[in-house]
Structure 1
Amino acid sequence: MSDEQKYAISQYPDVEAVYRQLNNLIRQPLLEIRPEKLQAYLDYFETSCRRSKELTTEAKQYIPGGVQHNLAFNYPFPIAIEKAEGAYLWDVDGNRYIDFLQAGGPTVLGSNYAPVREKIFELLKTCGPVTGLFHEYELELAKLVNRLMPSIEMFRMLGSGTESVMAAIRAARVFTGKKFVIKVGGAYHGWSDPMLYGLHVPGTGRFEAKGIPRGASASTQEFFPNSIAALRRHLIFNRLRGGTAAVILEPLGPESGTRPVPFDFNRQVRKLCDEFGALLIFDEVVTGFRVGMGGAQGYFGVEPDLTVFGKCITGGYPMAGGVGGRADVVSTFAAGIGGTGERAYIGGTLSANPLSCAAGYFALQEMERTNAPVIAGRAGDRLTAGLQAIIEKYHLPFVAFNQGSIVHLETSAVMLLDLHNPFKLLKELKPRKHMMEQMGAAYMAEGLITLAGSRMYTSMADTDAVIDDALERFEVVLASFEGVG
């Protein structure tokens, strides 16, 4: 089987060209949707989403902010979903949407995929969703991940991507005896205390670390995206202070490729880690199995020492996370129980429960059988090409690019602001963020659910007809800007 057939990325984006376009967009003044059109979009929520508004308004009395997950904080108010199937979501008011959120990325097969669902029904007839004891599907899932992922000799299931990052960093420190961990500024690696350093916006350090003692992030460092020279400087300086335990990356770039990396970036980081005796951790919470069954590491041909998984490991079912990698490193989790040496303590009663492990085993089997990542990637290619054509048609400065089934549509470029230009960051962060929120609302009013109005995940369920329908809806929104038409 050729690489084109194995991996979702048919052609890696021209990173230099993408950044030229993104930098041009950042320099542009914000475009605005025509006021009457924006008001029509906001009216949609008031007239067509009344039950959602009732529910989420009441929820604010009992749930902070009214919703439980950051993805659900939609403008002007959250939408309550009642049904998910394939390429679509339906809200409690009966409105149907094309689902480009796909639960944040894990449902490469499409939502609520029937063959996996039926296997879970069968399991629940005979075994509870959790027992606290070993189940055969733990072994079957671990064996499958071992076969699919190039670098994974051993695998430990956990409950979330955040937990998995915590465990990977702990294992790296135990194994190396070093303390410093370096991340790319702006990357998201969950919400544990050390990883809220340099969150979302490169160079911001502890800006988002409210409620976290300084000591908790004192050994976390960041370097500006794609700067191999900056990473080398950190590694040299750390060597004078005891050394670096690990470098952790999103292999496509911070925030799942919003700031894309050059194709050889991961290989250069691998060489630096080898030179300085640091472990390389890939955060494949999004890319694992979405880029291909061998993950981003298989696509790039770079083997990390540890790989972090999240919701992708169960195909979107609950309690989804895990760490895999070198046997000598991962074995630190068993030290003191079934292993030797110092122990990296981790726990979790619900980790590796029968339901999650069975869901992961059957979802990954189906993804491999159907070649779902590649089919989803073709849908991403079609969506991106269509968006680029619309942007050109209306002479808009917006930027569309994709890494297979991960599609980026930048209209406000808020995620591209950083401390290289602090005045611009302080002046434009809020208005650009608000524009992104408005774009998300406009898309939703046209029957499209996206991730924060700037990222889309395609799935195997996105046929050509679904993508073409979506493009017609996107064009309605993109044609509604001041000065267009």
Structure 2
Amino acid sequence: MTTVASTTDQFVSEFSISRWCDTADVLARLDALLKQPIRPIRPENMSQVLSYFDTHCRQSKLVATAAEHVIPGGVQHNLAFNYPHPLAIRAADGAYLSDLDGNRYIDFLQAGGATLLGANYRPVRERVQAVLAECGPVTGLLHEYEVKLAELVCRHVPSVEMFRMLGSGTEAVMAAIRLARAHTGRKWIVKMGGGYHGWSDQMVYGIRVPGTGRMDAAGIPRSAAARIQEGFPHDLHALRRRLQLNRLRGGTAAVIVEPFGPESGTRPVTAEFNGELRTLCDEFEVLLIFDEVVTGFRTGLSGAQGYFDVRPDLTVFGKCLTGGYPMSGGVGGQRDIMMNLAGGLGGSQKKVLVGGTLSANPLSCVAGYYSILEMEKTQAAQHAGRAGDRLCAGLTEIIDRLGLPYVAYNQGSIVHLQTSGVMLMDARNPFKLIKLVREAESRKRSMEEFGAAYCAHGLITLAGSRLYTSLADTDEVIDEALNRFEDVLKLA
């Protein structure tokens, strides 16, 4: 087991977060938002928003209609879903996206947070093109950039002594859980309710909304989550009781958390939470897994663990790991745990099986290596964090000036803009579940309508409630974006 790390000068000034948000204040404002009726975009204004898609997005509509015939639901990945229909993107550059109809948008989706350097960053693209020209995207054999990328991750992330590349964050979570169980000889895994750790069978439990359990588990046998338990954000006392009870039932292998709080900080934790969690895991000899798919490198080169000064036993990576290029996933941690992933036959180590034909391919590894080097050189996390601060401060000023009940807050370059509160609902009380499902639908629709309105005003967001800033977001970009956000918020 490891303990809370001591801060070193190496990690003092690298972070995208100038200060941690006032969690109590944010939670109070979010609670107030949930307790009042929805303040949606007015119907007469919403009709004007939808007319934008009819008149300006005809090519996107044609592609979206064709997609519905050959792709379930018309989208291949959840980020692409937009109301009233997905936009078909033709070009990406820095802070901007352009669709097939020639419309230009300020990009606060940034591939779900993966492109910290901005979209289609040229210095990385040129390195990738050089490797593609020389050996192609995959050979199935060892490539020097596999080693270079692993060395870079180990150098920057304080808890990582060894690193294994995988194909996605979902795969990396699966590997981390398998490692924890093999290393400890225990079976129970505790996750925080509402947290998103990919879509593997065992992690589709209490996903997005605390207390929902198997609500989204269609097609998943009940036995798949038989040893998965749900804790609740902020409640370490309840987690302690659960770990105590598990001692009587074979013990807990690991607790897995998003260090900013469930859903990339949509339910933010206190600044002290991760340190207290580390102490609790040490007391019960439980491995602590940080899911840093979103926070890894975006928070700073040492991730959220560097910012909070807490060392997990295992860390899950994705997104920024390869700078937005495909096959981005990996798990890292202490040498004695990670050696269980060593391949081959025989030996004294336990053999934890992972695989993936395209994992650690030359394309992904060279992209990751040079993306992280560029993050170092440009101080991308810090610049993106300052852009997030500027964006959040501007949104808060607009909300207050217009007398709206909405809530904006940020954790560096991750900015949250809550207008409906649907992502903050809680299903822990089973007697209120039917009411919750009914209310969630109307709140979800309001969030989607805001997302459409942002698009109609040249802004791309994640589901109308989350915004990722990047190195490309200059003061001029942010100021222009704030003017557009104000135009949208005046429609409510």
- Does residue 439 (structure 1) correspond to residue 453 (structure 2)? The answer is no
User: Structure 1 stretch 382-391 or stretch 421-430: which is displaced more?
Assistant: 421-430
Q: Is the 8 A contact 1:401 1:408 kept in 2?
A: yes
Aligned residue among 200, 203, 227 for 1:195: 203
> Which TM-score applies when normalising by structure 2?
0.96
Aligned residue among 314, 322, 328 for 2:330: 322
Deviations 1:81-118 (A, max 9, x none): 11000000000111000000000001110000000000
Cα offset, 1:339, TM superposition = 5.8
Cα offset, 1:37, TM superposition = 1.4
- One-letter identity of the residue aligned with 2:329: G
Cα offset, 1:69, TM superposition = 0.4
| Structure 2 residue aligned with 1:365 | 373
Deviations 1:128-150 (A, max 9, x none): 10000000000000000000000
Q: Is the 8 A contact 1:135 1:354 kept in 2?
A: yes
| Structure 2 residue aligned with 1:106 | 114
| Structure 1 residue aligned with 2:130 | 122
* Distance of aligned partners of 1:202 and 1:108 in 2 relative to their CA distance in 1, 3 Å threshold: same
Cα offset, 1:426, TM superposition = 2.7
Q: Is the 8 A contact 1:318 1:356 kept in 2?
A: yes
- Seq. identity, %: 64
- One-letter identity of the residue aligned with 1:110: G
Question: How many residue pairs get matched?
Answer: 481
- Does residue 398 (structure 1) correspond to residue 398 (structure 2)? The answer is no
CA distance in 2, matches of 1:382, 1:340: 54
User: Structure 1 stretch 337-346 or stretch 160-169: which is displaced more?
Assistant: 337-346
The residue matched to 2:70 in structure 1 has which SS? coil
Deviations 1:67-89 (A, max 9, x none): 10001111001111110000000
- Does residue 384 (structure 1) correspond to residue 384 (structure 2)? The answer is no
Aligned residue among 400, 424, 436 for 1:425: 436
The residue matched to 1:109 in structure 2 has which SS? coil
User: Structure 1 stretch 331-340 or stretch 137-146: which is displaced more?
Assistant: 331-340
- One-letter identity of the residue aligned with 2:51: D
Cα offset, 1:226, TM superposition = 1.1
CA distance in 2, matches of 1:338, 1:151: 28
Cα offset, 1:36, TM superposition = 2.0
The residue matched to 2:191 in structure 1 has which SS? strand
The residue matched to 1:452 in structure 2 has which SS? coil
CA distance in 1, matches of 2:394, 2:374: 29
Q: Is the 8 A contact 1:413 1:432 kept in 2?
A: yes
- One-letter identity of the residue aligned with 2:459: L
The residue matched to 1:245 in structure 2 has which SS? strand
CA distance in 2, matches of 1:146, 1:2: 14
Q: Is the 8 A contact 1:291 1:404 kept in 2?
A: yes
* Distance of aligned partners of 1:134 and 1:396 in 2 relative to their CA distance in 1, 3 Å threshold: same
1:146-295 alignment to 2 at 5 Å? 146-295=154-303
Q: Is the 8 A contact 1:379 1:463 kept in 2?
A: yes
Cα offset, 1:5, TM superposition = 3.1
Cα offset, 1:380, TM superposition = 0.1
Deviations 1:307-330 (A, max 9, x none): 001122101100000000011111
Deviations 1:164-196 (A, max 9, x none): 000000000000000000000000000000000
| Structure 1 residue aligned with 2:475 | 464
- Does residue 140 (structure 1) correspond to residue 140 (structure 2)? The answer is no
CA distance in 2, matches of 1:338, 1:50: 60
Q: Is the 8 A contact 1:336 1:342 kept in 2?
A: no
- Does residue 58 (structure 1) correspond to residue 66 (structure 2)? The answer is yes
Deviations 1:15-74 (A, max 9, x none): 000011000000110112122211111010111101111011111111111110001111
Deviations 1:392-412 (A, max 9, x none): 110111000000000000000
* Distance of aligned partners of 1:2 and 1:309 in 2 relative to their CA distance in 1, 3 Å threshold: closer
The residue matched to 1:6 in structure 2 has which SS? coil
Cα offset, 1:3, TM superposition = 6.1
CA distance in 1, matches of 2:313, 2:27: 30
The residue matched to 1:226 in structure 2 has which SS? coil
| Structure 2 residue aligned with 1:332 | 340
User: Structure 1 stretch 250-259 or stretch 328-337: which is displaced more?
Assistant: 328-337
Deviations 1:205-224 (A, max 9, x none): 11111111111100000011
Q: Is the 8 A contact 1:203 1:223 kept in 2?
A: no
CA distance in 2, matches of 1:339, 1:56: 53
* Distance of aligned partners of 1:473 and 1:373 in 2 relative to their CA distance in 1, 3 Å threshold: same
The residue matched to 2:164 in structure 1 has which SS? strand
User: Structure 1 stretch 222-231 or stretch 346-355: which is displaced more?
Assistant: 222-231
Deviations 1:250-307 (A, max 9, x none): 0000000000000111111111111111110000000000000000000000000000
The residue matched to 1:426 in structure 2 has which SS? helix
| Structure 1 residue aligned with 2:463 | 452
CA distance in 2, matches of 1:417, 1:30: 13
Q: Is the 8 A contact 2:65 2:74 kept in 1?
A: yes
Q: Is the 8 A contact 1:335 1:342 kept in 2?
A: no
Q: Is the 8 A contact 2:16 2:298 kept in 1?
A: yes
Q: Is the 8 A contact 1:138 1:357 kept in 2?
A: yes
- Does residue 414 (structure 1) correspond to residue 425 (structure 2)? The answer is no
Q: Is the 8 A contact 2:40 2:420 kept in 1?
A: no
> Which TM-score applies when normalising by structure 1?
0.98
- One-letter identity of the residue aligned with 2:487: V
Residue segments in structure 2 that go unaligned for 5+ positions in a row: 1-8
Q: Is the 8 A contact 2:41 2:446 kept in 1?
A: no
Deviations 1:398-446 (A, max 9, x none): 0000000000000000011112452552331000000000010000000
* Distance of aligned partners of 1:39 and 1:338 in 2 relative to their CA distance in 1, 3 Å threshold: farther
CA distance in 2, matches of 1:124, 1:112: 16
CA distance in 2, matches of 1:347, 1:215: 23
CA distance in 2, matches of 1:338, 1:118: 42
CA distance in 1, matches of 2:263, 2:271: 17
CA distance in 2, matches of 1:396, 1:3: 39
| Structure 2 residue aligned with 1:70 | 78
| Structure 1 residue aligned with 2:5 | none
- Does residue 87 (structure 1) correspond to residue 95 (structure 2)? The answer is yes
CA distance in 2, matches of 1:404, 1:68: 29
Q: Is the 8 A contact 1:187 1:199 kept in 2?
A: yes
